[in-house]
Amino acid sequence: MSDLPIRNRVAEAGIYELNLLELQPELDIETLDISQFLHEGLILIEKEFKAAMQQFDWSVFSEKIVCLTCTTDAIIPQWAYLIFAEKLKGIALEISLEKPESIQHKK
């Protein structure tokens, strides 16, 4: 073995550490409660549901991340989520079924 001191060649290389999380822009996260489109907040009646979707102002979600949630114990058919995705396409940056807190922790 040599009597030379141990050198940290990585530190001497002048490598710059870049934290990409610091460069990520802050994004607005909005929650959309599906129950507001349901009959009495519980039952999805297709005709009423589609009429409520047509009347809703989707521009409030412009350039935002939208978290779909239902605050009641309603059973939502899968096709309803597809309609939400179609309405928000081109308006929202992202559509998620996660809680807003989960999305913030991923940043």
- Domains of the chain by residue range: 24-106
pLDDT for 104 equals 66
**pTM metric for this prediction:** 0.71
**For residues 2 and 101, which has the higher predicted lDDT (pLDDT)?**
101
With CA atoms as reference, report the closest residue to 67 among 101, 90, 24, 21.
101
Strands 65-69 and 29-33, bridge-based pairing: parallel
pLDDT for 11 equals 78
Mean pLDDT value across residues 44-64: 94
What share of the chain has pLDDT > 70, as a percent? 94
The chain-wide mean pLDDT, for the chain, equals 88
Residue-wise pLDDT tens digits, 1-47: 567 888 888 778 888 888 887 887 788 899 999 999 999 999 999 99
> 28, 66 in Cβ contact below 8 A?
no
Q: Which DSSP state fits 92?
A: S
> Distances in Å between the alpha carbon of 68 and those of 22, 33, 95, 103?
27, 6, 7, 12
